[in-house]
Structure formats: C-alpha cells, structure tokens
Structure 1
C-alpha cells in the first residue's frame, strides 16, 4: 500500500532519523493535493487532559493524558474519536473512515458524552506540504499501511509500532523484529 488516504497509518521506517518521528505511527486525518495532516499515536505525554481541557477528562480513553500529536502547532489540540454507533454522529464530529473521526473540542461535552466508544486528545499534529509526504514515502521514510479502529485508543501505545508491522502481510512483518540498535545484532 503506497496511497495515503484518511485513516491510513504511516509507520516510520528504520531509515527515518528525524527525532520527531523515530519509531512513530501516524494516523492520517486529512490528505489533499495541498498537503496532509495526521497525529502520532504512540507518544503519550505526562500531562493529564483534565489539567488543560475542562470537562473532557471523563470522556477520554485511558491513559487520560494528552498525546504528542506532532511537532506542528503544539499549543493546539485535535481530538480523535470512535463512535459507538456510526449512524449516530454527534454535533461537532467530522467523519474520517469507518467509525473514526475528529471531534471539535469547542463542542459542549454533554452533546457527545455517551455517543463515543473512545476519545484521544493530541497536542499538535504532523503536517506535510504538497508533494512532501509523497517524497518521504518514495525516499523510504514511511511504510503506508491500513489502520484498525483500536490503534488510536490503545491503553499502552508503547508496542504499537511493532504490533502494526507484525500484522502486515509478507516481508513487511519481518521489520517488526529488527533490533533497536542493528549494531548489536
């Protein structure tokens, strides 16, 4: 899979040395000819959602912390949500794929409470300009793979990179077994 679409995952390859993205898994939220936007799923912060977003703490999935969504606009937040019922989209919800979407955090919590199976809040995002992401993929920086709804809401995201690669068909699954430091192999 090399086509990037909303809902796809970008998995950092061993060749990607940018410290913002080493061993990351990025959920793509928006892909247009003008650029692309996603959030890093496996970088939790120590900051509790309750400390920065009044009212949303009771709705977020565990761990109830902000995740570092990427290096762009880290003072802003994006909320990724999973619907209980895809036929019951609450106010402020924008569909991405399947039951997955984003919630406008200016929406009153009581209007979405009970309609979500999961919610995760990301400080910042990963963004690419026109053709930038395509160049990085062609250069071997990213694997493009399908997502599963649960990827964005894992209680312990530390093993997400390996787990996503492990479930891929063919040779791609073998990359999940690479040592952290190939020199030690």
Structure 2
C-alpha cells in the first residue's frame, strides 16, 4: 500500500512462500538487480551457460547472501511447494541443472528474503500495510518485473492510481 514507506518494501510485490505459526517467509518478485545469474555460477564454480543472462532478484532484506530459486518443475531435495507446480529451493543442484540446460525452464533466482515473526504479517495486513492478492505463476513468469506491482493490484479490480495513503475504518 502507498503508506508503506519502508524502502525495502515500497511498491513491492511479495510472494508469501511459507506461512506457519513460527512466522512467514516471502520473496520480493518485482526487484531485479543489475547482476546476472552467471555471476553466481562463477562464484560457485558452476559450469554451463544456461540461464546465465537471467537477472538476480532482490528477494528481501533478510540474509541477502542466501540464494533461492523459485521454479516450475521437479522436486529437488529440500524444495518447498509454494503453488501447484511452483517450488522454492535452495539447492545448488537446481542451479547446476539450469546451467547445464537440464533443469527448470521457468525460474527466478533471488538473493535474500522477506521474513516476519509470528503474527507480524497478520498485524501488518490488519493495518492495511499490504493488499492481499491470490498468487499466480503468470504474474511471475509472463509479466515483466517492472509491471508486476501494477498488475498484481489490477488482479483485485483496483486501479493502482486511485490508491491513497490514508484509510478509514468501518
């Protein structure tokens, strides 16, 4: 929402990947960095060029050194199903397969994540800090990153230009 002015989350779309009693984990899906996946390959001694020109995305302010792959495809050890057919993984094996062009064809790579303590996200939603939109893979893979914020809001039938910083209670 417009009143959320934290620079980590201003005009972001966050895909909540896991939500339990212990808290929530999400990825900012509309902030690609100027860095490319090939740079991760070099740093991790991963051979191959598949996906090397894909951008690295800013996933959030927590553990910015930690990499995540959001992908459609088979289950890798330790991966988590986020949506039907959409998984989140941290295994280097996913990147190795992508580099060899044997892995998922549709994927996004992130450094860092957004995290919430127990009940924190619920409190932020109750304060109208966030609009909640049903997740869909097309928003991730068919919508350019710079259009995801507006597109997500429009999924609710709302014109983003009409959002205001104030809100009322009923």
* Same-fold status (TM-score > 0.5): yes
Structure with the larger strand share: 1
Does structure 1 retain, via aligned residues, the 8 Å contact 2:97–2:103?
A: no
- The answer to whether the 8 A contact 1:59-1:119 is kept is no
1:14 and 2:10 correspond: no
| Kept in 2: contact 1:69–1:125 (CA 8 A) | yes
Q: CA shift at 1:15, angstroms?
A: 1.3
CA-based RMSD? 2.6
Give the secondary-structure state (helix, strand or coil) at the position aligned to 2:112.
Answer: strand
Unaligned ranges ≥5, structure 2: 166-170
| Residues 25 and 160 in structure 1, CA contact (< 8 A), matched pair in contact too | yes
Number of residue pairs the alignment of both structures matches:
158
In the TM superposition, residue 38 of structure 1 has moved relative to its aligned partner by 0.4
Q: In structure 2, what is the Cα distance between the partners aligned to 1:161 and 1:91?
A: 29
Q: TM-score, normalised by structure 1?
A: 0.75
CA distance in 1 between partners of 2:28 and 2:18 (Å): 14
Alignment partners' CA distance in 2, 1:163 and 1:47: 24
Counterpart for residue 118 of structure 2: 130
Relative to structure 1, is the Cα distance of residues 141 and 179 closer, same or farther in structure 2, using a 3 angstrom cutoff? closer
Distance 1:134 1:106, change over 3 A: same
3-state SS, counterpart of residue 67 of structure 1? strand
Alignment of 1:37-52 (within 5 A): 37-52=25-40
Q: Is the 8 A contact 1:68 1:124 kept in 2?
A: yes
Deviation at 1:137, TM superposition (A): 0.6
Q: Choose from 161, 164, 167 the match for 1:177.
A: 161
- Structure 2 SS opposite 1:142: coil
